[in-house]
Structure 1
Amino acid sequence: MGEDVAVTTLHDPESRGFASDNYAGAHPEVLAAIAAANGGHQVAYGEDVYTARLQEVMAGHFGDKARAFPVFNGTGANVLSLQSMLPRWGAVICVETAHINMDENGAPERIGGLKLLTVPAPDGKLTHELIDRQAWGFGDEHRAQPGVVSITQTTELGTAYTPGEIAALTTHAHDLGLTVHLDGARIANAAASLDLPLRAFTTDVGVDVVSFGGTKNGLLYGEAVVVLDPAASAGLPYLRKMDMQLTSKMRFVSAQLLALLDGDLWLRSAQHANAMATRLRAAVEGTEGLVITQPTQSNAVFAILPAGVADRLRTRFRFYDWNEATGEVRWMCAFDTTEADVDAFAAAIRHELIP
């Protein structure tokens, strides 16, 4: 102990792309928080001082009833949330593009043991009319029973619900006897876009349980299930262990979340990522051959490119197709995206499209 250890960096730390905010490293302030939490012994499995402080900080953001359950990842947060909100025969109403439907490899169904009832939503946002397409069959033993409405803020298409839109959803859902889950993988980006505190579009408008995202906003790893209405969720301590989401050294997840939330790092990072997406859109919008397909209300830009352009661009900048059939692509910015990154990418796009 105490000897210097040689560390070899295997990548170019100045290389950044536009594929995902998950590609970004950990924010330096988060790494510093992990180091500060190290040393000595703390009680395992969440009985540490960092997790205790996290409860106080989460209550400051979401209200006195809020209780946070740190977990390893977003899929775990979503599965745990939904499991705790439903009986074994329960079902979740969500949009077709929801992460729980498209990108979690059946985990809600296979691990959570629940059914997803999906509806189409071109902008990624549920409405009470869309809820009604699946909110039926109550008492019918032949149909999985709708029990939860799940929305994503910001959505998988980069759009943000207003507090009024969420209030209308939660009121309608509660009137139907349903509870409301919010997948907040990019919840900080929504707050930055709306210029509102976190509780303004969660607790104050009737959301019951939140999956709070940290990894996409500068954490090394870690998310949290935040229960806003204790009556809407049951058994989370047991489910978290059963689903292998209970970390023994929880202080290191909690310390990261504290680095974000016990101050304004969460907001600063999200504001920057959003601003970089806005800059990118402004730099390429109106270029002949390119069509922007969604409002840019967070850190994502969606666009359609002519055939072959995306593949040529990807020789220099990594990003993903969103819809191969239409040529739609997704460009994501992160807390560490620079203006120079954006400008270089925008110049490459224009070079490909302008004769």
Structure 2
Amino acid sequence: MYFASDNNAGVHPDVLAALVAANDGHARSYGDDPVTARAHALFKAHFGEHAETVLAVTGTAANVIALASILRPYDAVLCADTAHVFADECNAPERFTGARLTAVPTADGRLTPAQVAGFAAGGHPPHAPRPRAVSIAQPTELGTVYTVEELRAIAGTAHEHGLLLHVDGARLANAAAALGTGLAEAAAGADVVSFGGTKNGALAADAVVFLDAELAAPRRYLHKQAMQLLSKARFTAAQFVALLSGELWRTNAENANRTASALAGILAGLPGVELAVPVQTNAVFAALPGPARAALDGYGSHSPGGAPVRFMTAFDTTDADIERFGTVLHAAFTR
């Protein structure tokens, strides 16, 4: 009943079953096995036959590989100041690419075409880094979602100015569920996508999906340099087989989104509570009065000062969990 992060959730039983099934006997190492081949085929089914994929075990690693395929050390990439690549990855993208992350403030975590155009026009080579790419999160770190039309506008502006588009899709399944689209449509216009399975019910499974043949060409070398070429790759692959071979990815995401909406409804009905941004996926950001904020410490993710508290639901959050937490919330507001 603690909602600090969807990372706190366990592993979906179907994913555990897939791991057990993959553990039957020996298989060729480093991804040269039938389970990994099946996972690659599933990514093609979702993102198109031209899609090429490498697997990783963390979202940060997936983002580093994706950005390394785009950037040179003299480049710059535009992102929101709330972006995970900027605020939560300990400078890993900058360390491993040598490039600069240029972060700009946004109203709700979403970049605009105007910001992209301004970034593209802002370089003064060779004295300043070359504007090279745009990195957006779908959904954003605030849980907000770009519509397909907004994605295409961002991508169109980026490509018009010679920039590439990276989509950090750690929770892309939640965005697709919110939009009612497939996974590819939820990342429309992207050149490379970091796709997250861990937050969608996997144990440790993220991926980089290359949608541009030129960017995909060195993927195996980048994969190895990033220390993500696992000898027993079938176990990472098996998790994606479980999520992507049917509708499990969508079912899990829809449950997380639905229960977040229910939680937001309870919070919005409490005195003095203000939702910081619209609740579109599985994140709820709420400004809480001081006494209630203190009483709820540990139930959500608390930032220093008076910043909104983040509550996140997961694939396994139940209606009963929300009901019980509603009791906790009401108690916190009546002390």
TM superposition score category, shorter chain reference: over 0.9
Which residue does the alignment assign to 1:231?
214
- What is the CA deviation profile of residues 53-96 of structure 1, one whole-angstrom value per residue up to 9, with x for unaligned ones? 11211111111101110011100000100001112211110000
Distance 1:84 1:101 in 2: 17
Equivalent AA in structure 1 for residue 201 of structure 2? G
SS in 2 for 1:161: coil
Task: State which of 289, 297, 301 in structure 2 corresponds to 1:320.
Answer: 301
Cα displacement (A) at 1:312: 1.4
8 A contact 2:117–2:161 mirrored in 1? no
Please identify runs of 4+ aligned residues in structure 1 that moved more than 3 A: none
Corresponding residue SS for 2:114: helix
1:273 to 256, 260, 268: 256
Which residue of structure 1 lines up, in the alignment, with residue 270 of structure 2? 287
- The one-letter code sitting in structure 2 at the alignment partner of 1:344 is R
State the SS of the aligned residue for 2:293.
Answer: helix
Classify the secondary structure of the residue corresponding to 1:325: coil
Cα distance in 2 between the residues matched to 1:313 and 1:82: 38
Task: Provide Cα deviations, 1:277-332, integer angstroms capped at 9, x if missing partner.
Answer: 01111122131111111111000111001113223123xx532124x333410000
Q: Give SS of 2:260's match.
A: helix
* Identical amino acids, percent of aligned pairs: 46
Q: CA deviation at 1:209?
A: 0.5
Moved more, 140-149 or 29-38: 140-149
Aligned 1:64-213 pairs, distance under 5 A = 64-138=49-123, 140-202=125-187, 205-213=188-196
Distance in 1 between the 2:143 and 2:26 partners? Answer: 42
Alignment of 1:348 onto 2:328: yes
Offset from partner CA, 1:29-67 (integer Å, 9 cap, x none): 000000001122111111111111112111111111011
Paired residues for 1:207-222 under 5 Å: 207-222=190-205
Q: Is the 8 A contact 1:82 1:112 kept in 2?
A: yes
SS at match of 1:320: coil
Distance 2:299 2:227 in 1: 32
Aligned to 1:310: 293
CA contact (8 A) 1:179 1:232 kept: no
- Cα gap change, 1:38/1:253 in structure 2, threshold over 3 Å: closer, same or farther? same
Equivalent residues of 1:118, 1:134 under 8 A apart: no
CA distance in 1, matches of 2:254, 2:279: 13
Could you tell me which runs of 5 or more consecutive residues in structure 1 were left unpaired when the two chains were aligned.
1-15
Shift of 1:347: 2.1
Bigger shift: residues 136-145 or 249-258:
136-145
Q: TM-score, normalised by structure 2?
A: 0.96
In 1, Cα distance between equivalents of 2:216 and 2:161: 17
Partner SS, residue 349 of structure 1: helix
Deviation at 1:234, TM superposition (A): 4.5
- Aligned-residue offset at 1:351: 2.3
What stretches of structure 2 of length at least 5 have no aligned partner?
none
| Structure 1 position 166, deviation (Å) | 0.3
Secondary structure at the counterpart of residue 97 of structure 2: coil
Matched letter for residue 329 of structure 1: V
* Inter-partner Cα distance in structure 2 for 1:241 and 1:39: 26
- Report the 3-state secondary structure (helix = DSSP H, G, I; strand = E; otherwise coil) of the residue aligned with 2:154: helix
| Preserved CA contact (<8 Å) 2:57 2:205 | yes
SS in 1 for 2:231: coil
- The answer for the alignment partner of 1:337 in structure 2 is 317
1:86 counterpart SS class: coil
Give, in angstroms, the shift of residue 354 of structure 1.
4.1
Other structure's SS at 1:143 match: coil
Match of 1:57 among 39, 42, 52: 42
Moved more, 26-35 or 39-48: 39-48
- Residues 30 and 219 in structure 1, CA contact (< 8 A), matched pair in contact too: yes
Q: After the TM superposition, which of the residue ranges 236-245 and 135-144 deviates more from structure 2? A: 135-144
Secondary structure of 1:100's match?
Answer: helix
Letter in 2 for 1:207: A
Conservation of the 8 A alpha-carbon contact between 1:284 and 1:350: no
TM-score by length of 1: 0.91
Aligned position for 1:251:
234
